[in-house]
Structures are given as structure tokens and as C-alpha cells.
């Protein structure tokens, strides 16, 4: 009986040692992951600061065009001007020759140079300088041409816990953001000039590909597409849309990874 008890005690002791070893391995693995997460975020943060210091020559004021047609529920009082970056694209090209522009969304942390690859997977785990980085970078859809013909220019970014990349895109669905008319104008500075877009829709939706369309068979199909995007919005921005409009789409994951946080804006200049 004593021998059996001693044997059972020995087995229990061995099991306990194995459990402790497993716990230690898990803890070490978590610490390594946290360290890598911090290091890669820090690298991107430092890179953005350096890119901003080297590439942003000045902040300039541009006049917004007068909107002759005020849409349903649209506020009459709108900002007459906004501040945008004046950029040295040669400096950006020296780091990444595939730079297509610099996106800025007011009152969010979104202010980044935008790259483009031959697919939509590369910048999910590469930084702006094309080095491996799980934090990724802000990038344009590979289908966009940037030759003036794009109906729907699409830009993606991760939703990072440290609020970097497109993490604060969700803020655009809060009343204190969309009720401030100064927030509604997104600037996209490109090598060929500054583009300004007026927000017309913000929402969260289950993962899908409909809003990511870039090609349309005819004007009617495109207008139906625009009206569908507008109808999804959590707020009515009162922006009129027609088949000649060109739009900008910003997309990221929500915190669950199962849905997408979206902003759409139409080009006004």
C-alpha cells in the first residue's frame, strides 16, 4: 500500500514538474511576443517621425471649393479652408519608390505616407521601407492606377492596439467627430498634387468585398454602388453623389477581426 502511495506521489510530482515547465515556456513565449510587438511598433513609430521630419516641408492652407448644392441635412456652415502638408516626394521615394501619397484624416492619428505593392498582402507584414514588420504599413489597393481614372481609391491599414496605423478610424463613427464639420475633409497629397475628399459615409460591417469594387459596367451600376455605401452610414452627412464622382475608401479591421471599419469620402478637389 505504501509502495503504491509512493508511486502515485512520484507520478503526481512528475506531472507537476511538466506543468511548471509548460507554464514557463508559455510565459517566455508571451514575453518574446510582447517584446517583438513593442520593438516593431517602436520601429514604425520612429520611421514615421523620421519620414515626417525629412519629407514634410511645410503645412499650407488651401481653400475649399464652394458647394453650390447643399445636400439633405447638410450644414450650411462649412470650413472655407483646411491645412495640408507640402511634401518632398523625392525624400519619400528614396525610402520607398512605390510611394503613392500621404493620407491625413483630421482629429485621428491617421497621417501616413501610403505605399502600394503588386498585391494586397505585402504591406500587411512589411513596413514602409519594405523591411519585415508584423505591424505592417498603410497601403493602397494594388488595383488602383493613380492615373486619374480610379473611381474608388482604396487604402488599407491595420487596427493596432497602440492606436497606430488605422486604429483610430473607428473614431469617425463617434458623434463628437462627425458633428464637427472641420473633421470631414480628408487630404491625400500625391506626387501630382493635393486631393481633398469630403466624407459621406462611416460604418462597420461584416467582412465582405462589395465596398472594395474598383470597376463598374456603367454609370447606373456605379451610382447604385455609391448610394448603397451612403445608406450604410451611421450618420447622414448630407453629401450629394452622382456617377461622375470619384471616391476614397479607408478600410481596417475592428477589434474582433471579423468586421471592417470603413470611411468613404468623395473627391471635391
Q: Quick check: is 2 in a domain?
A: no
Is 253 a residue whose pLDDT tops 60? yes
At 76 the pLDDT is 46
What digits encode the pLDDT tens for the residues 122-133? 999 999 999 999
At 100 the pLDDT is 98
C-alpha cell of residue 254: 475592428
**CATH label of the domain that carries residue 172:** 2.40.260.10
**Number of structural domains, the chain?**
1
At 36 the pLDDT is 66
What digits encode the pLDDT tens for the residues 214-247? 999 999 999 999 999 999 999 999 999 999 999 9
pTM (2 d.p.): 0.84
DSSP E strand stretches across the chain: 56-63, 81-87, 99-104, 111-116, 139-140, 152-156, 185-190, 193-206, 247-253, 259-267
Containing structural domain, residue 208? 50-267
What digits encode the pLDDT tens for the residues 148-167? 999 999 999 999 888 899 99
Q: Quick check: is 11 in a domain?
A: no
Amino acid at each position: 500500500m505504501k509502495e503504491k502511495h509512493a508511486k502515485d506521489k512520484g507520478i503526481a510530482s512528475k506531472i507537476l514538474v511538466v506543468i511548471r515547465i509548460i507554464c514557463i515556456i508559455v510565459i517566455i513565449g508571451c514575453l518574446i511576443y510582447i517584446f517583438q510587438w513593442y520593438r516593431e511598433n517602436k520601429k514604425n513609430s520612429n520611421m514615421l517621425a523620421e519620414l515626417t521630419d525629412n519629407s514634410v516641408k511645410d503645412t499650407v492652407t488651401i481653400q475649399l471649393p464652394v458647394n453650390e448644392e447643399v445636400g439633405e441635412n447638410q450644414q450650411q456652415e462649412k470650413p472655407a479652408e483646411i491645412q495640408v502638408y507640402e511634401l518632398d516626394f523625392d525624400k519619400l521615394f528614396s525610402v520607398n519608390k512605390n510611394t503613392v501619397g500621404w493620407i491625413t484624416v483630421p482629429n485621428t492619428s491617421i497621417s501616413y505616407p501610403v505605399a502600394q505593392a503588386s498585391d494586397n498582402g505585402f504591406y500587411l507584414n512589411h513596413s514602409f521601407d519594405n523591411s519585415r514588420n508584423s505591424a505592417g504599413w498603410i497601403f493602397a489597393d494594388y488595383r488602383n492606377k493613380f492615373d486619374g481614372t480610379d473611381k474608388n481609391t482604396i487604402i488599407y491599414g491595420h487596427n493596432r492596439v497602440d492606436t497606430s496605423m488605422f486604429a483610430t478610424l473607428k473614431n469617425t463613427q463617434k458623434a463628437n467627430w462627425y458633428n464637427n464639420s472641420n473633421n470631414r475633409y480628408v487630404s491625400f497629397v500625391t506626387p501630382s498634387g493635393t486631393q481633398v475628399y469630403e466624407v459621406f459615409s462611416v460604418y462597420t460591417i461584416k467582412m465582405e468585398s462589395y465596398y472594395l469594387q474598383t470597376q463598374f459596367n456603367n454609370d447606373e451600376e456605379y451610382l447604385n454602388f455609391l448610394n448603397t455605401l451612403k445608406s450604410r452610414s451611421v450618420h447622414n452627412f448630407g453629401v450629394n453623389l452622382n456617377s461622375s464622382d470619384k471616391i476614397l475608401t479607408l478600410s481596417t479591421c475592428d477589434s474582433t477581426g471579423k468586421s471592417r471599419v470603413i470611411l468613404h469620402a468623395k473627391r471635391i478637389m
